[in-house]
Chain A
Amino acid sequence: MESRNPLLAVDNLSLEFRTRTGVVKALENVSFEIKKGETVGVVGESGSGKSVMSYAIMGISDPAARITSGRIVFGGISLFEKSGQELQEMRGREISMIFQSPRTALNPIRTIGSQLEDVIYRHSSFRGRQIRGRALDLLNQVHIPDPEKRYRAYPFELSGGMCQRVMIAIAISSNPWLLIADEPVTGLDVTTQASIMDLIKDAARERNMGTILITHDLGLAAEYCDRIIVMHSGHVVEVADTERLFMRPRHPYTAKLIGATPNASRDLAELSSIPGNLPDLRAELPACRYSERCEHLKEDCLEPPLPRLETEAGHLVACRYPL
């Protein structure tokens, strides 16, 4: 793989859910790229389509989901041209994913050793005793104390942080090129959060692995990501390098989001909330889905198409009148 080519390119991806109450347009014309070794944050409030997008990349979308346009190109090959079998073999080997609430993300009635072995058996040429050796090695790599003993433990016998370490061990077992971490530290206590994030960062650096960090915590994204993608109700509204995004947000939503994030150098009283709610994605929507909540709304904001301006190199904003 050429390092100049993106590792992952999501191109104009639209996805909808057919439900009994109507068609939910969960993603619309989502485009972005991830380079090798790069950590990219995807931020936005709940319901902005962050997880839906990552499931689409993994090919594990809900059966009710339907991709209506666009492509996902991974390692130069469009994922939609691969067979189900090929996608299955790719998952966990080339793209891995870890989830929120690690304790329920592991099979409750299977030892963590067996769960790790299942994945190693599936994706490697290790057999027999080698598998166990490899599994113990991985548990060591994710800094699980006394791996021999933990090997026979069930998820309910481990803490949330430990379970997330096991999840990471499973995810990196085949040295994937891309790791999608969907709210990996939500619900863990702060010191555990830091150690888990450091673990992900180190694992990514050692393997030159691209990482997508999905989070609603801007502070976390700021600390660990090279670039940040801001999503709002199924649209990518802004993409920029982390520093530039925080220095000079161009989309009104990003600005509000930053204004709503607590910060050591700012008074809590200065925190502002974002007015309004996410629009109902089943209804007819204006070109800009943020328009209803926007303080800078102008008449032609509602007219399609939704612009995608490149205000500076690598700084994209989906707003007709960027700040």
Chain B
Amino acid sequence: MKGDSLLLIGRRLLQAAPVVMGIIVVTFILTRALPGDPAVFFAGPAADEKSIAEIRASLGLDKSWPEQFWVYLQNLSRGDLGKSISTGQPVMEEIATRLPASLELTLMGLLLAVAIAIPLGILAATRPNSFVDHLCRIVVTIGVSLPTFFTGLFLVYIFYFLLGLSPAPLGRLSIIHISPDHVTGFYLIDSLIAGDLEVFRAALSQMILPASTLAIFALAPLARMTRAAMLGVLSSDYVRTARASGLSSRTVLWVYAFQNAMLPVLTTLGMVFSFLLGANVLVEKVFAWPGIGSFAIEALIASDYAAVQGFVLAMALMYVLLNLAIDILYTVVDPRIGLEG
């Protein structure tokens, strides 16, 4: 079984290679097909034809597309994503510093959502038409119907403006704190490694509102899927067998029902995580979060080819890795998924 799993993982990795290649091509073409001339933008309003042409040449934009693509590929193989034309920084560096901020926020939101949605879904399924079931329905409806930027602003209005419970929505740490030494890039973890509880608390308090915003958005599909999967599993033949065998309610619920119900929930979790990466863009804007989403928006507005390419590439790689992780988890949880799967 173990060798099979390793083989499966290897095959999935190989399958990911053409996907990544396709993404490289598509992002290259898409960014060049976008309206707006980066040379004009970069040269500034006072520039004349000649200086624009000079800048175009210095950016390599005067070459043909195949040539540009070849250069892009060569750079890529060296881990060089080019320079952002608006900040002048290497895109790779920008992404490396901003990605952990986005990931930390997304994972926190997901963790919160899972911690609430799964117990809620289970309670709703085991007590149909009870108070919890109705609560679950209400939470799900709210979660799907509120756009994240609205939830974010609403939370800021209540908890910062009206109640003053949370700090100003201005990034990962308020200016009075110094960011912890970079180890993982996750402030919550780095501050703990540094043993600085004050920074940890400050980072956490900054994170609660944006993470909650994401969590409210992610709750709905998770709670709904947990409830549906549990209901299905609880009326299955094998749960009936477990009951008929006199197994305790706890064993029936956790060992027989829950483990089986987690299979579809796992799939949903993967999907929700990808949605969250997208939803992040707006939430980061609302909370001035120095993440990869806000970086991408600015790059897009500035027709910053290299930055947009780098962003899309990073996101695509994350999707691929995420799907791989979900596949691996599946093989661990479900013995029926083998090589042919």
Contact = CB atoms under 8 A, between A and B. Distances in A.
A99 B249 CA distance: 20
A97 B244 CA distance: 6
Contacts, number: 75
Interface string A119-160: 100110000000000000000000000000000001010000
Interface residues of A, number: 28
A89 B246 contact: yes
**Contact size class for B?**
20 to 34
Interface SS of chain B: helix, strand, loop or mixed? helix
A85 to B, nearest CB: 9
B334 A92 contact: no
A99 B244 CA distance: 10
B247 interface: yes
A109 B259 contact: yes
Interface in B223-260: 236-238, 240-249, 251, 255-256, 259-260
Contacts of A122: 245-248, 251
Nearest to A119: B245
A104 B335 contact: no
B336 interface: yes
Interface in B315-334: 333-334
B126 to A, nearest CB: 11
Contacts of A101: 237
Contacts of B334: 109
B256 A107 contact: yes
B243 A109 contact: no
B246 A107 contact: no
B238 A104 contact: yes
B302 to A, nearest CB: 51
A108 B245 contact: no
A99 B6 CA distance: 37
Contact of A88 (B241, B249, B256): B249
Interface of B: 236-238, 240-249, 251, 255-256, 259-260, 263, 333-336
30 contacts: A58-B244, A60-B243, A88-B248, A88-B249, A89-B246, A91-B243, A91-B245, A91-B246, A92-B245, A92-B247, A93-B246, A99-B240, A101-B237, A104-B238, A105-B237, A106-B238, A107-B238, A107-B242, A107-B256, A109-B260, A109-B334, A109-B335, A109-B336, A110-B256, A110-B259, A118-B242, A118-B245, A122-B251, A156-B336, A171-B245
